[in-house]
Amino acid sequence: MVGDRLRELRQEKGYSISELAELAGVSKSYLSYIERDIQKNPSIQFLQKISFTLDVDLEYLLGTEKSVSEVSIDEEWKALLNKAIKDGLSKEDFKDFQEYMKFKKWKHGKKQISEFMLDDKLPDLK
């Protein structure tokens, strides 16, 4: 399932396996194994690199979250967007905000990876 979703997302973004592997800093053969379901249990670090490169949530890549196109926009979101536009929010401002949020998400992901790796190296205190 992860392999199918990964292949679909990669193709949507227009990347070859080689391009995505290089951009994400992962092994091309490992990426291919995941897509073909030869390797069915990829590491969380691998999935985080791929999800960041493809600009999707890890949860979406794992199939536990709906894509943006599957989520319906409710009236509150429409009202917020209309108010922001009326208050002078430009498309460029919105794009800047998206980049900022992507950076925050990336920074938070890096922090989680560091904490995960630290936890993995701590001695068992039992």
Structural domain harbouring 61:
1-71
CA distances from 106 to 22, 37, 55, 84, 126 (A): 18, 27, 10, 25, 34
Residues 64 and 77 in one domain: no
Mean pLDDT check: name the lowest of 28-32, 46-50, 113-117, 120-124.
120-124
> What's the pLDDT score for residue 88?
92
Judge contact between 71 and 24, C-beta under 8 A. Answer: no
Residue with the bigger pLDDT between 123 and 31: it is 31
Residues 108 and 87 in one domain: yes
Residues 78 and 119 in one domain: yes
Of the candidates 48, 71, 94, which is a domain's last residue? Answer: 71
- CB under 8 A, 24+ apart: contacts of 68-73: none
Structure pTM?
0.53
Residues 113 and 126 in one domain: yes
Q: Read off the pLDDT of each residue in 77-100 and give the average, rounded to a whole number.
A: 87
Judge contact between 20 and 50, C-beta under 8 A. Answer: yes
> What span, in angstroms and rounded, lies between the C-alpha atoms of 97 and 105?
12
pLDDT band of residue 115 (cuts 50, 70, 90) is low
